[in-house]
Structures are given as C-alpha cells and as structure tokens.
Amino acid sequence: MEYRLIIDKNNPESLVLSVHERTAFVDSIERMLNRGTEEITGYADDEIFCVPLDEIYCFFTDSGRVYISTDNKKLMIKQRLCNIESIINENFVKINQGCIINKNFVKKFQVSIGGAIKVCLKNGFEDYISRRELTKVKRSFGL
C-alpha cells in the first residue's frame, strides 16, 4: 500500500482512496472522515440551516425528495438516503426503505391488530417499521 501526505496551504484539502474492493477497513475510514462533518445542511424556502446530527429526529423521503425532521422544522437536504447511511452514527437506525430515525427521540412503539409496528417520535413524526428491517431495529433497541 502506498501512502503520501502532502501539506500545502494553497491547495484544497482532499483525500483519494484507491482500493480493489470495499472492505470493513474502507468503511471505517469513510465513517471516520464523515464524522468530521457532524452537521447536515437543510433547506426551507429561501433559508439554509446547518443542523447538528444530534438534533435530527429522522431522515425520510417524500415525493422523491429527502428531508430531515427536527424539533420544529422539516428541511429538504440534497443527499440521497443511501449516502446518509454512511455518515450517521450508532444513534440512528433504518426502519424502512424511506426512513432513518434517531433512537434518542423515540417516544413509543405501537403495534396494530395486523402486526404492523409504528414508531412515534417525540416531535410527532410517525412511520412504520418494515418487516425487512424489524430484526435490526429490535436488536438496536435491545428487544
């Protein structure tokens, strides 16, 4: 493996990894680099907000766009949901194909007669856990 460090204040900072395949090591490097950006940029009308990860209740899709839900705002973001998964920390868990929630803001789980499980967050946001993600969600909450 080749390694080079170039310190030059005149050039923008960048890091390029050239690997043969994605491994756990490459994933850990990617998570470590993305944790340096602990804020997500959100857009509402003509305003731009920088929201810290620990204030985000959930990431969700609606009409083909990705949004974040905070205590009192719904902000559009420009990242795709699959890219968000690489930058979030262990406080977040994917509950279905279009939603990732922050475990710290879960108010309750509701089980319906048909067996579907709904997650209710403290800000009023509600969504259902898919069967595909149910085992992972249970394990994440220690159930």
CATH at 29: 2.40.50.1020
Higher pLDDT, 132 or 33: 132
- Overall average pLDDT of the 97-119 stretch: 90
- Overall average pLDDT of the 3-17 stretch: 78
Residue closest to 40 by CA, chosen among 53, 29, 26: 53
In-domain check, residue 13: no
In-domain check, residue 9: no
Q: Is the pLDDT of residue 33 over 70?
A: no
| Cα 71 to Cα 116: distance, rounded to the nearest angstrom | 26
In-domain check, residue 16: no
Q: Domain range holding 66?
A: 24-141
Please give the model's pTM, rounded to 2 decimal places.
0.69
Q: In this structure, what are the phi and psi dihedrals at residue 53, rounded to the nearest 5 degrees?
A: -55, -35
In-domain check, residue 11: no
Q: Is the pLDDT of residue 71 over 60?
A: yes
Q: Which range is least confidently modeled, 24-33, 72-81, 97-106?
A: 24-33
- Which residues neighbour 132 within 8 Å (Cβ) at sequence distance 6 or greater? 96
